[in-house]
Amino acid sequence: MNDIGLIGMVSIIVAGGTMAIGSIGPAFGEARAVAQALSAIAQQPDASGAISRTLFVGLAMIESMAIYCFVVSLILIFANPFWKYVVEHP
Amino acid sequence: MELSPDSTVFWQWGPVRLNATIAFTWLVMAILSLGSWLVTRRLEDNGNMPRRRNFLETLVAILIDQIRAIGHKEPGRFLPFIGTLFLFIAASNSMEIIPGFEPPTGSLSTTAALAICVFIAVPFFGVKQKGLSGYLKHYVKPSVFMAPFEIIGEFSRTLALAVRLYGNIMSGTIIVGILLSIAPLFFPIVMQALGLLIGIIQAYIFAVLAMVYIASATSEKKSTEAGSENGKKGGV
């Protein structure tokens, strides 16, 4: 297999694996955070404003992990530097 | 597929390049400042308030309340910076439903510039509040060995701010683009509605995180007071 085929294959496989592994962790984390926040709101409805504000910020910080993986996999597929190098230096 | 509006060049003169990011940033700036100027041009105090002015005052009141709730201090000094961040990001994110408009926050250059503004504003407010030595002291707070980690943390959270906003907005645009080629009838609209929600939430989160960083750099005394109060309560 030549270099272009090898780099393309590895990039696509790794991009899929990045999304799979990188989204399962934040999914568990967000599920735990939302469940805890819901039970906290159920126990103390008065504090729902502060709880939901903190929940949103925390969810965004958890979700940014998945977003990093998404950006990395997009770079692998659409803006791969090694692919560009091989295409320019055949 | 284009990953950012940077690659759309409207006008070029030598090395000077006017790409879509800069043009749409100027558009958002013009809309925000012209709108505020038009609403606050003739302020009257005769009891009947125009709807647009009511909207702006509600917005500013919400911003003040949120800054006070997050920072635990008077919002006067932080309102211009935090409010500008929120309004700019919210306006450019929510204008993505206009056909032909590419949100400038979907480009890493814009979000990196905003994150660098926060990166500079944190020591600015900290030094203004506590003096240079007082601000630098919190780097060596538990021990001197923590200073490198604090500095690494400052850089990594700036990077995280930039990449979080960029990734969210850019992914919304790309998902709509992919759906347009698969199921062009109805689903792109649903995803755009979700994109609007995500855009507003991300603007809120960017402003809240900026406020949290600034508050943690300016409120050294508050935490020690709270700690002593807790100690007293524990003693009682």
Say whether pLDDT at B172 is over 70: yes
Averaged pLDDT, B88-92: 93
Averaged pLDDT, A11-21: 93
How many A-B residue pairs are in contact by the CB < 8 A criterion? 41
Please judge whether A60 and B3 are an interchain contact, meaning their C-beta atoms are less than 8 angstroms apart.
Answer: no
Kindly list the structural domains of chain A, giving each domain's residue range(s) and its CATH number in brackets, ordered by start: 3-84 (1.20.20.10)
Please judge whether A64 and B208 are an interchain contact, meaning their C-beta atoms are less than 8 angstroms apart.
Answer: no
Please judge whether A74 and B201 are an interchain contact, meaning their C-beta atoms are less than 8 angstroms apart.
Answer: no
Nearest chain A residue to B67 by CA distance is A53
Which pLDDT band holds residue A17 (cuts at 50, 70, 90)? very high
pTM for this structure?
A: 0.82
Please judge whether A53 and B1 are an interchain contact, meaning their C-beta atoms are less than 8 angstroms apart.
Answer: no
Say whether pLDDT at B129 is over 90: no
Please judge whether A68 and B202 are an interchain contact, meaning their C-beta atoms are less than 8 angstroms apart.
Answer: no
For A70, which of B160, B167, B204 is closest by C-beta distance? B167
Provide the shortest C-alpha distance from residue B20 to chain A (in Å). Answer: 19
Averaged pLDDT, A71-81: 85
Q: Render chain B in DSSP notation, one character per residue.
A: --SSGGG-EEEEETTEEEEHHHHHHHHHHHHHHHHHHHHTSS---SS---HHHHHHHHHHHHHHHHHHHHHSS-TTTTHHHHHHHHHHHHHHHHGGGSTT---GGGSHHHHHHHHHHHHHHHHHHHHHHHHHHHHHHGGGSS-GGGHHHHHHHHHHHHHHHHHHHHHHHHHHHHHHHHHHHH--SSHHHHHHHHHHHHHHHHHHHHHHHHHHHHHHHH-HHHHHHHHHHHHHHHH-
Q: What ipTM does this complex have?
A: 0.72
Averaged pLDDT, B164-174: 87
* Residue-wise pLDDT tens digits, B8-54: 777 777 788 888 888 899 999 999 999 989 888 877 777 777 888 88
